[in-house]
Amino acid sequence: MKKVFYLLLIFICIAGICLFTACNESDGKTKNVSQSELDKLQEELDKLREQLDDNNEKDKGNDTPVSNNNTSMSVGDIIKFGDFEWRVLDVENDKALLISEGFPRNEILSVGFTSADDEIITWELSRVRQELNSRFYDVFSDSDKKRIADTTVITPDNPWFGTWGGNTTTDKFFLLSIEEVVQYFGDSGQLQSGQSSTVAGAGFIGAEGDGISDQYNNERVAYSELTGSARGWWLRSTGRQVNHSIASVNADGSINISGSGAAHNSHSVRPAFWLILD
């Protein structure tokens, strides 16, 4: 695009010089530019315009805009919304469930899960919920904000340990639950059967936890936009202990259902939300 702009600018300058030269005064009279010269200049200008149109079409083909209707948006699509890339997890009527494709390059999300209450750590009371629905939400334009739906977020109790999931909330952005990450990224039946795998924990070297490690691990792996490396990401479900741990997806894609220490800034954040389709 820039190349065409510069070519057009150069052409205009050359054309101006030619016209100035042709129209300079000689013996008190002004020389007229011949029709053939004007036709030649017009021909060159038309060529540049045609090249500019071709480049515009190519640029459009490289964009990943948000679809305007649910017929053109499918599960698995990667779209651009705001300044971030999102993966389509579900499409229902006039809305689509999106999750960030990787970890958005945004310092607002560089936080631990942590809670305002040291005795109870739930999604409702978490710092990451506050940040997502205030400062991160404010990153979006007014027109984009109108397309981010209010969502009633229910967090079930931990399916293996029965730990209380916390109160129902209403949010613009949220994190997936254990049940949702299994639903949308692949279900091997391990969650329902309760067949536990030993998975990596967090908080100290060599930590281990109870969780799910199956053929869908690779589907759940997410990468940093900044470093390109894989990293674990928080879920909103509580872990084994309501005052300490939060469930998560590890860097290798396994699900840590017993949870990681919420006070540790050991995982990243993959925001999710329901997009209102035009």
**Class of residue 87 by CB neighbours under 10 A (exposed 0-12, middle 13-18, buried 19+):** buried
Q: Bigger pLDDT: 204 or 86?
A: 86
Beta strands in 76-206 (DSSP E): 78-81, 84-92, 95-100, 151-153, 169-171, 197-200
Taking residues 167-195, report their average pLDDT.
94
For residue range 64-114, list pLDDT tens digits in order.
Answer: 455 444 447 899 999 999 999 999 999 998 999 999 998 877 656 656 677
Q: Is 87 in a helix, a strand, or coil?
A: strand
C-beta of residue 75 within 8 angstroms of C-beta of residue 90? yes
pLDDT at 269 over 60: yes
Q: How far apart are the first and last CA of the chain?
A: 30
What's the pLDDT tens digit per position in 1-58? 434 444 444 445 445 544 444 444 444 444 455 666 656 656 665 665 565 555 444 4
Contact 212, 257 (CB under 8 A): yes
**What H or E segment, with its residue span, contains residue 211?**
strand 208-212
Q: For residue 142, give the H/E element and its range.
A: helix 142-145
Query: What's the pLDDT at 199?
Result: 72
